[in-house]
Each structure stands twice: as structure tokens, then as C-alpha cells.
Amino acid sequence: MALQNSAVGRGQEWYESTTRVTEALGIVSLLSAAVAATILIVYLKRRPPRDLRTKLWLLLGLGVFPAIAAASSTVSGMQRTTERKFCGSCHVMTAHYEDAADPKSQSLAARHSRNPFFGEKSCYVCHADYGMYGYAMTKAGGMRHVYEYYLGGYRQMPLEEFKKVIHLRKPYDNTNCRQCHTTTLHDWRRVPDHVSLKDEVESNRVSCASAGCHGYAHPFTKPAAKVSLSGGS
Amino acid sequence: MKLWRTLIQRSVSQLTRFAAALALLALLIMVSSVVYPRPLLVVFAMSVGHVIGGAAFACYLLAVLVDVSRSNPPSDSLAPSEAKAPSRSKTP
């Protein structure tokens, strides 16, 4: 119990520290932009002589401070895109967002969202591809979501209809589960189904989040007949 | 070369003012993505915002280049009488 509490504490600390970094970067971005904008507005209003001093001020206002603002706003923006409320800002994700935030929900997604290591970033932690290029590939995939939402018809789609049509483009990769559930510890190996299905799990022939195993992550998007088969340990 | 001459003829101040206005627009887009992190705004800031900001800095660099080349004009841009002056002095 003490070990579990300590892990929860570490998870909360980790989440709070990343949130603080994101907020700090946002403040740096806003301050840099404010300084650059002040220099540029003063230049546009006063139109000072074109001497070395003016050129250096302009170098700060057009080069240095905007570069700091761009870099920090990019990092801050990328961090924001990993937060659950960002994913939930498109109306079609309302059901997913509310289920993950529901303390009473027993779906796989909600149970993981209650873990402080996932917390407010649970969508990203589970759906980000694992590996060296995982971050970049996930962000590139996110661009497709933006395209589909604004130009692919999802924006106009009612939520109930969306729940029926939403699907993953490719089967969910068990490697993402195995970032935490390494499958090497005694607790995992003592489950007979785990041992018998180890090869299938490793080769993605059987999904951890499937009916009969741990159940669907978002069961409300599945037909009732399929959900009744799903497990939920 | 024609493009360069056209640029030289343009006012450096005009180019710098244009760069400042572009940079202000880019800053506005970037700041709005920090204040309101909505999907489209974040994507817009990271693509269009950065391109506009880059264009503003490029305009500023161009203005500096034009200014420097005006203060040090190349020999072939001198007036014909000035360019021929040394050879005339050597004439016996």
C-alpha cells in the first residue's frame, strides 16, 4: 500500500512538473512576444533614423524575441496537444472525454485515466506510438484528425452517429500497453491466459483491449453484443 | 540582377516597416495559440505563423543588405564619367 501511494505521489509530481514547464514556456512566449511587439510598435510610430542603434533594436524586435516566442510557443503548444482536454475540444470526442473523466466509469480508458502517470494526458499516453519517432508520428497522425474534422465531415456529424463510425485506422499496438505492463514480472506471468497468449500478444494477433481479455477501452463506441463479451479485470 | 536593382530602388524604410507589420501579425497568431490552445489555432500558429515570422525576418535582412549595398555601391554602378576618370588622368 505504501509502495502504491509512493508511486501515485511520483505520478502526481511528474504530471505537475510537466504542467509547470508548459505554463512557464507559455509565459516566456507571451513575454517575448510583448517585448518584440513593443519594440516594433515604437518603431512604426516614431520612425527613428536608420542608424546602428535602430538596426540593433530591430534585430531584437524582428529576430531575437520573435524567435524565442516562436520556439517557446511551439513547445508549449505541442505539450498542450498532449492534454486530454485538448483532445476533448472537438465535439466528437465529448463521449470519450467525459468517460475518461468519470470517476465511476469502469472502462479501460477511465481506469487508466485515474492513474496519475496517465492523468490529464491519458489520450496521448495510450495512443502515442512507442519508439524513437513515436512523438513525431503521433503528431503527424493528429494532423489527419484535424483534416478529417474540418474537411472530412466529422465536424457536422452528430455525436451519436460518430460513435458508430469511429474506428482505429490500424489495430491497436500492444507495445503501447507494454510500455508499463512489461509482461516480464511475476504478477503478469502467473495469469495462465497471459502465458498461453504471450506470442499472440507480442505479435499483436490478440489485443489486450479486446472482448474476453481486458475489455474495450471505449466500450460505448462498440455494439452492445460485443461489449457483453468483454472482460474487465 | 533586375530584381536586385528594383529592390535597391525601393525604400529601405518601407521594407523595414513592412517587416515590422508582418512580424506583429506573426506574433499575434503565435500568442493567440498560447492563450487559446484550440487544434486549428495551434496548427495555424505552427505553420502559417512561423512562415509569416520567417518572411518578416527575411524582409529585415533584405533591408539591411540593401542598406549596406547602398552605402558601398559596386564599381559598375558608378556614373560613366566617374568610372572613366582614372583612365583619363593617365592620358598623356
Q: What tens digit of pLDDT does each residue of A112-146 get?
A: 999 888 878 889 888 887 777 778 888 888 888 88
Mutate to test the interface with A, among B10, B12, B31, B34 (most CBs of A within 10 A): B34
**What are B20's three cell numbers?**
515590422
Does residue B79 carry a pLDDT above 50? no
pTM for this prediction: 0.73
Number of folded domains that form chain B: 1
Q: How far is it between the farthest Cα atoms of chain A?
A: 81
**pLDDT score for B60:** 92
Q: What is the ipTM of this complex?
A: 0.72
Residues A143 and A183 in one domain: yes
> What local confidence, expressed as pLDDT, does residue A12 receive?
67
Pair (A111, A203) in one structural domain: yes
**Residue A17: per-residue pLDDT:** 76
Task: Give B6-51 as a DSSP string.
Answer: HHHHS-HHHHHHHHHHHHHHHHHHHHHHHHS--HHHHHHIIIIIHH
Which positions of chain A have pLDDT values less than 50? 231-233
Domain presence at residue B59? yes
Buried b (16+ CB within 10 A) or exposed e, B34-61: beebebebbbbbbeebbebbebbbebbe
Interface test mutation site (partner A, options B42, B50, B69, B70, max chain A beta carbons within 10 A): B42
Q: What is the pLDDT of residue B48?
A: 93
pLDDT at A149: 87
Those residues whose C-beta lies under 8 Å from the C-beta of residue A232, and which sit 6 or more positions away, are A106, A108, A214, A215
pLDDT of residue A6: 63
Structural domain boundaries, residue B15: 11-67
Cβ(B69)–Cβ(B76) under 8 Å?
no
Same structural domain, A73 and A118 = no
Structural domains of chain A, count: 2
Report if residue B88 sits inside a domain. no
Looking at the fold, whether A21 and A48 belong to one and the same domain comes out as yes
Domain interval for residue A133: 84-229
Of A47, A73, A146, the CB nearest to B34: A73
Contact A53, A92 (CB under 8 A): no
B63 part of a folded domain: yes
d(CA B54, CA B58): 6
pLDDT bin (cut points 50, 70, 90) of residue B76 is: low
Nearest residue of A to residue B33 by CA position?
Answer: A77
Q: Distances in Å between the alpha carbon of A84 and those of A89, A96, B16, B83, B87? A: 9, 10, 42, 71, 78
Residues A41 and A117 in one domain: no
Domain boundary among A38, A53, A80: A80
For residues B12 and B70, the answer to whether their CB atoms sit within 8 Å is yes
* Contact between B31 and A143 using a beta-carbon 8 Å cutoff: no
Beta-carbon contacts of B45 under 8 Å, excluding residues fewer than 6 positions away, are A73, A77, B29, B30, B32, B33
| Contact state of B27 with A90 under an 8 Å Cβ cutoff | no
- The candidate with the shortest Cα–Cα distance to B27, out of A168, A185, A67, is A67
**B→A interface, C-beta within 8 Å:** 12-13, 16-17, 19-21, 23-24, 26-27, 30-31, 33-35, 37-40, 42-43, 45-46, 49-50, 53, 56-57, 60, 64, 67
CA distances from A198 to A156, A184, A201, B65 (A): 43, 10, 5, 66
**A73 touches A32 (CB < 8 A):** no
C-alpha cell at B90: 593617365
Residue B46 lies in a domain: yes
Q: Which residue has the cell 489495430?
A: A171
pLDDT in tens, B13-57: 888 999 999 999 999 999 999 999 888 898 899 999 999 999 999
Q: Is residue B72 part of a domain?
A: no
A148 and A176, same structural domain?
Answer: yes
The reply to whether A93 and A166 lie within a common domain is yes
* Inside any domain, residue B41: yes
Read off the pLDDT band of B82 (50, 70, 90). very low
Q: Is residue B73 in some structural domain? A: no
The larger pLDDT score, comparing residue A23 to residue B75, is at: A23
B75 within a domain of the structure (yes/no): no
